[in-house]
Structure 1
Amino acid sequence: MSFNPVLVITKTEKPAWYQSSARFAKADNRTAVRQLLTTIIPYLALLATMGYTVQNGYPYWFTLTLGIAAAALFARIFILFHDCTHGSLFSAPRWNRNVGYLCGILTFTAFHDWRRSHAGHHITAGDLDRRGMGDITTMTVDEYRSAAPLQKLAYRLYRHPLILLGIGPLYYFLLRNRYPSPGAKKIDFISVICTDLALVVIWLTAGLTIGLRTYVLVQLPVLIMAATLGIWLFYNQHQFEGVYWARHEEWDPWRVAMEGASYYRLPPLLQWVTGNIGFHHVHHMRPGIPNYRLQECFEAIAELQQVKPLTVRKSLGSLRLNLYDEKQRTLVSFRSLKGH
């Protein structure tokens, strides 16, 4: 992403165009309900159909084909959950909480605990001195060079695509979300316990009805595909060529929104599945905008359109960017360190 002087804003100054985005941070309850109905009902119907195919001896590849559509809807449910944690899906906090818990159970994620850690991500994104709050672990070049051999090996393994997009997503949704994140408050503990108990009830019910084998053959591949898509999206939202990072004393939250979060331009179907989250710079600029108004806001404010889009093809190259070079102010690959 090239540097744009129009988007240079101090920590305290809010740009004039920012005020015009406020009108988009208003929920439309009818739209929210429609999104829920057109996402959760088809998702549950697909799971039921997949279960039917397993129990009646259909080829498993057919079940997995249905699973691709179910995984897409799983990812979309998580976007609705994400909006609820920001209090933006519905106009009433009570409904955001209740629906957030429901979507959290469906996506194996505790509402209050994830809401707090995700809020931490929003207030620390792009800050080199406050890394580690709901982000992809990223070392600077100097940190990597001074690290012990085992630390380097662990970091290289962590950043390897097979771990980052393979084992990592499954671990995060299936295991990591089963216990509170660091710094959890009482309400966060309660949300984790409630979510875990709800999942136990689902597992027990499945075991007594369709059988655990059927449940696993249906839910596990859906979870794996959806989790991989989710981590891939999150990775590309903050790990791309030209991304903005800075030490805390120089850290600028407006540059974080406009240069530290991507505009990931996706094909129409993927844009629908991912709830417009590709307009991630708009989301970071004003997190209170619901997913169904992000594109509307983007199209209404010229300054938001000045951010260079990240295409699907270009995003594939972001996986080779593993370290942040503070001197060059850019992400670089492990390979770039050879000979230096």
Structure 2
Amino acid sequence: MPSHLVNLNASPKAESSDVSSELPFTLQELKSAIPAECFQPSTWKSLSYFFLDVSVITVFYAIAHFLDSWWFWPVFWVIQGTMFWALFVVGHDCGHGSFSKHKWLNNAIGHLAHTPILVPFHGWRISHRTHHQNTGNIDTDESWYPVTESKYRQMDWSEKLIRFQVLLIAYPLYLFKRSPGKKGSHFLPSSPLFKPAEKWDVITSTVCLTLMVGLLSWLTYEYGWLFLLKYYFGPYVVFVIWLDLVTFLHHTEADIPWYRGKDWYFLKGALSTIDRDYGFINNIHHNIGTHVAHHLFLNIPHYHLKTATEALKPILGDYYRESRESIWKSFLRSYKTCHFVSDTGAVVYYRSKQEL
């Protein structure tokens, strides 16, 4: 067992259909172990996190404007970009319906949280739903799934550059082009991502985002490109890095199994993720690193995930994955070694390009 991971799946790392063919527990058994209140969102508590994030963002904008100093702008970008990421996580709860029991409120706050950071709420919500429904499935997962060896060999230099070299700034491109091997845009209702009934949801979010781009364009016209860089682009880049870093680390590790065909089913795939410790950032970004429980039960609000996780651990046993390693150390190792999986095999693991 690698020293940086604890409670890994006890099954051996072997590309075989024999790996964990059946789990020794059911989804219902896991749900029964979690206190019932963990599944109940508090509208006021959820709103308090939203308004807290917005308030912190507002305060730091005021501080940055008051100081207007180049010694402070880089510091501001890191802080504000991190708060943009926290705001995204609030919208993430809205997208899962775990923010409140009111759909209209989830949609309203979701747009208020995501539109200012250039995320099309409904377009993202629907593609993220696809990810959750297909986690760990090589053929149907939506984000951060491995490419096959043959696909890796066929990828041109630009695809490899985006997917494997500058992956921490890839998210905006994903919104327009999705991941390797998939087609469609998060902005167009005609995309294969969406059902016909979701047309107006997608259009609504695209219009909101277009208005935000219009506002940023007007501010740039009035105050110049330097204004855009200082007040928006700097924090936005940091936000994108956070988003790509955290989502990459949710599902990328050499010891995580990926499944094909009949060897995949929801519960098994949902366990192909890792809980990670981001230190003092945990509370700032609403414990999004507590990810195993979230994938099992996406309707648990973020402020109940830690309680739910503790309740699940005794049942999950060796099937619970947790990393106590430095986030950057984990990222660099996976960045260097997790490139593709074999073309065949019901259960496969990441391999390195050095093996070609």
Q: Which TM-score band (shorter chain)?
A: 0.7 to 0.9
Shift of 1:331: 0.7
Shift of 1:170: 5.0
Task: Give, in whole Å, the separation in 1 of the partners of 2:116 and 2:177.
Answer: 15
Match of 2:348 in 1: 329
Match of 1:158, as an amino acid? Answer: I
Task: Give, in whole Å, the separation in 2 of the partners of 1:330 and 1:283.
Answer: 23
Match of 1:263 in 2: 275
1:298 aligns with 2:302: no
Aligned residues: 322
Task: Give, in whole Å, the separation in 2 of the partners of 1:91 and 1:32.
Answer: 11
Task: Give, in whole Å, the separation in 2 of the partners of 1:169 and 1:130.
Answer: 19
- Structure 1: gaps (5+ residues): none
- The alignment-based identity, stated in percent, is 19
Match runs of 1:1-340 below 5 Å: 2-4=8-10, 9=22, 13-21=26-34, 23=36, 24-54=38-68, 58=69, 60-131=70-141, 133=142, 135-136=143-144, 138-144=146-152, 147-148=153-154, 151-161=155-165, 163-166=166-169, 168-169=170-171, 171-172=173-174, 179-180=187-188, 182-184=192-194, 185-203=198-216, 206-207=219-220, 210-258=223-271, 260-267=272-279, 269-301=280-312, 302-304=314-316, 306=318, 307-310=320-323, 311=325, 312=327, 313-320=329-336, 321-325=338-342, 329-337=348-356
Q: Is the 8 A contact 2:126 2:193 kept in 1?
A: no
From the two aligned structures, give the one with the greater helix fraction. 1
What are the Cα deviations for residues 159-207 of structure 1, in whole angstroms up to 9, with x where unaligned?
333x2114x2454579988833543331243223322233045325534
Q: Is the 8 A contact 1:47 1:219 kept in 2?
A: no
Match of 2:341, as an amino acid? Answer: Y
Match of 2:168, as an amino acid? Answer: L
Shift of 1:256: 1.5
Q: Is the 8 A contact 1:324 1:330 kept in 2?
A: yes
Q: TM-score with structure 2 length normalisation?
A: 0.81
What are the Cα deviations for residues 113-165 of structure 1, in whole angstroms up to 9, with x where unaligned?
1111110111122112224x2x0252123443xx44xx25344323333x211
Match of 2:281, as an amino acid? Answer: L
Task: Give, in whole Å, the separation in 2 of the partners of 1:214 and 1:257.
Answer: 43
Task: Give, in whole Å, the separation in 2 of the partners of 1:297 and 1:41.
Answer: 29
Task: Give, in whole Å, the separation in 2 of the partners of 1:86 and 1:276.
Answer: 15
Q: Give runs of ≥4 in structure 1 deviating > 6 Å.
A: 173-178
Task: Give, in whole Å, the separation in 2 of the partners of 1:248 and 1:273.
Answer: 39
Task: Give, in whole Å, the separation in 1 of the partners of 2:225 and 2:158.
Answer: 35
**Residues 292 and 304 of structure 1: is their aligned pair in 2 closer, same or farther, counting only changes over 3 Å?**
farther
Task: Give, in whole Å, the separation in 2 of the partners of 1:171 and 1:14.
Answer: 35
**Residues 141 and 69 of structure 1: is their aligned pair in 2 closer, same or farther, counting only changes over 3 Å?**
same
Task: Give, in whole Å, the separation in 1 of the partners of 2:276 and 2:107.
Answer: 28
Task: Give, in whole Å, the separation in 2 of the partners of 1:12 and 1:191.
Answer: 41
Q: TM-score with structure 1 length normalisation?
A: 0.84
Deviates more, 1:297-306 or 1:285-294: 297-306
3-state secondary structure, aligned to 1:242? coil
Q: Is the 8 A contact 2:292 2:309 kept in 1?
A: no
